[in-house]
Amino acid sequence: MMFLRNIGIFNRSLLQRSVRFNSNSTFKINWPEYFRLKKINNRLNVGSGAVTGTMGVLMTLGGLANVEIDPEKPILGLDPMITFVGLLLIGGLLGYLVGPTFGNTIFKLSYKKHLPQYNAMDKIFLQKVKVNRVNPSSQSFSNPVPDYYGERIYSLKDYKQWLRDCNAFRRKSQEFL
How confident is the model over 138-164, as pLDDT tens digits? 888 888 899 999 999 999 999 999 999
Residue 127: per-residue pLDDT: 96
Residue 142: per-residue pLDDT: 80
Cα separation of 105 and 56, whole Å?
A: 19
Residue 177: per-residue pLDDT: 57
Residue 23: per-residue pLDDT: 45
Low-confidence ranges of the chain (pLDDT < 70): 1-27, 177
Q: Closest by alpha carbon to 75, among 95, 67, 62, 65?
A: 67
Residue 115: per-residue pLDDT: 95
Residue 73: per-residue pLDDT: 87
Cα separation of 16 and 43, whole Å?
A: 28
Cα separation of 78 and 170, whole Å?
A: 50
Residue 26: per-residue pLDDT: 60
Residue 36: per-residue pLDDT: 96
Radius of gyration of the CA atoms of the chain, in A: 23
CB 105 within 8 A of CB 45: no
